[in-house]
Amino acid sequence: MIRTKKILHRQCWRNIFLIILVHVVFLCGICLFWWLYPRIYMHIAYMKMDFLMPNSKQIINDFRQTGNTKVKPFNSFVKEDAYKIDPSEHFCDNTACGSLQMLFVVKSHVMNFGHRYAIRKTWGGVKQLRTKIVFIIGYTEFATPFIEEELKQYNDIVQLNIIDTYENLVYKTIYSIFWLLDLNIETEFIHFVDDDRLVNTLNVYNIASTQIAPSDLVMIGHKLNYPRPQRDVTSKVYLSPAEYPFSYLPSHIIGGTVLTNMKTVKMLAIGVSYVKVIPIEDSYFGIVAAAFNIEMRHHSGFLRYEMRANVLPYILSSPGYENIYALIRDWKLIKRRGFTFRPAMYIYNSWSLLFDRYVFSLNR
């Protein structure tokens, strides 16, 4: 009787173990499917890349083999009429541009005079590094006299001949890239950033100098992995099926803060000539980067959402600074606590970097 009870007891535990094992395997299978499906889907979608980049296979093969192609560009960007204000001639009058450590390319709304002033007085004007800042703005008629006055005082504004709307943000980045190449400026690193962000300048430079080599083709920031395109017509990031017919977007760095180097900027300038433009900036440059073999690397120090003020000395870039007084206040907090980068975060991101590089090598 006792022996029978022991056998039943063992069988009961064995059954419980098997049930748990089956559930664990099932959940792992679901997680694996959830992880693999968008990647397989995007691999298949990129076999149909001709929708976004006509003659894609020939272009990609040409660039991999020779670094050039004879295929005619799909897009035609007319630079002669693109700029209403171009400060190139006197951009380097006040500061030497021959050996910059960091160039900030700030996408700013034409009416955000206060934001630009606050950035110049805070993270855009640090004295510990050789930096330069340029603001890329759109056009609105009644702001012209004020913009001209601002230009006289600072000479750091590139005004494009386009209406300053969210849909045109992608063209701000495209023409800022062309402007940089025409300027032929020498800088170690370039940080594309929105004017509603707080940037911890020295932390950004420290990360750039340890994680970006001059020969790298890389963009570092907050990386989104295979998001779905927004099909809600009321959303500002709406993408119609006619503009983008696939169910997933390629992984990309959010457009509000992207750290890179000049070699990558030159490759992006080539890429945008061949890839059909869609009106969502960060998604578009994710497509360009994926097509032209530019690594997109995640770093948790580039925040996607605003966080508590006490973590600001340890981060790289934070959104949520539509209020310029908050920007000035929190910059003072960073200066008071000193520029530093939390060791634990550095170790975490070092491991994250190794993993990202491994995954990138598999996808090449």
CATH of the domain at 282: 3.90.550.50
> 51, 74, 92: which is the final residue of a domain?
51
Looking at the structure, do residues 166 and 20 belong to the same domain, yes or no? no
Q: What are phi and psi for residue 325, nearest 5 degrees?
A: -70, -35
Task: Give dist(CA 283, CA 252) in Å, integer.
Answer: 6
Q: Is 57 exposed, middle or buried (0-12, 13-18, 19+ CB in 10 A)?
A: exposed
Looking at the structure, do residues 170 and 88 belong to the same domain, yes or no? yes
At residue 135, the pLDDT reads 97
Task: Give dist(CA 241, CA 84) in Å, integer.
Answer: 34
Sign for the pseudo-dihedral over CA of 66, 353, 104, 74: positive
- Which tokens is 204 given? 């950004």
Looking at the structure, do residues 63 and 47 belong to the same domain, yes or no? no
Q: What is the number of other CB atoms lying within 10 angstroms of the CB of residue 84?
A: 15
Task: Give dist(CA 86, CA 97) in Å, integer.
Answer: 16
Looking at the structure, do residues 270 and 304 belong to the same domain, yes or no? yes
- Which tokens is 51 given? 């929708």
Local structure of 40: helix, strand or coil:
helix
- Answer for the pair 213, 295: CB distance below 8 angstroms, yes or no: no
pLDDT tens readout for residues 237-253: 899 988 888 888 888 99
Task: Give dist(CA 95, CA 73) in Å, integer.
Answer: 36
Task: Give dist(CA 84, CA 209) in Å, integer.
Answer: 35
Count of residues for the chain? 364
Looking at the structure, do residues 47 and 156 belong to the same domain, yes or no? no
At residue 328, the pLDDT reads 94
Residues with Cβ within 8 Å of 301's Cβ and at least 6 positions away in sequence, in order, are 203, 207, 314, 315, 316, 317, 341, 345, 349
pLDDT tens readout for residues 64-86: 778 788 888 888 888 888 999 99
> 32, 51, 70: which is the final residue of a domain?
51
At residue 37, the pLDDT reads 52
Task: Give dist(CA 334, CA 312) in Å, integer.
Answer: 7
Domain limits for position 81: 58-363
At residue 345, the pLDDT reads 47
Task: Give dist(CA 114, CA 118) in Å, integer.
Answer: 6
Looking at the structure, do residues 106 and 252 belong to the same domain, yes or no? yes
At residue 6, the pLDDT reads 54
At residue 360, the pLDDT reads 42
User: Of 216, 81, 240, nearest to 162 (Cα)?
Assistant: 81
Looking at the structure, do residues 25 and 64 belong to the same domain, yes or no? no
Tally the domains of the chain: 2
Task: Give dist(CA 59, CA 68) in Å, integer.
Answer: 8
Looking at the structure, do residues 174 and 70 belong to the same domain, yes or no? yes
Which residues of the chain have a pLDDT value below 70? Answer: 1-11, 13, 15, 29, 31-51, 93-96, 338-364
At residue 207, the pLDDT reads 95
The H helix count followed by the E strand count for the chain is 10, 10
Looking at the structure, do residues 9 and 136 belong to the same domain, yes or no? no
Looking at the structure, do residues 347 and 245 belong to the same domain, yes or no? yes
Q: What are phi and psi for residue 169, nearest 5 degrees?
A: -60, -35
- Answer for the pair 330, 188: CB distance below 8 angstroms, yes or no: no
At residue 9, the pLDDT reads 59
Long-range contacts of 71-75 (CB under 8 A, 24+ apart): 71/274, 73/273, 73/274, 74/273, 74/274, 74/275, 74/276, 75/272, 75/273, 75/274, 75/275, 75/276, 75/277
Looking at the structure, do residues 64 and 46 belong to the same domain, yes or no? no
Looking at the structure, do residues 251 and 337 belong to the same domain, yes or no? yes
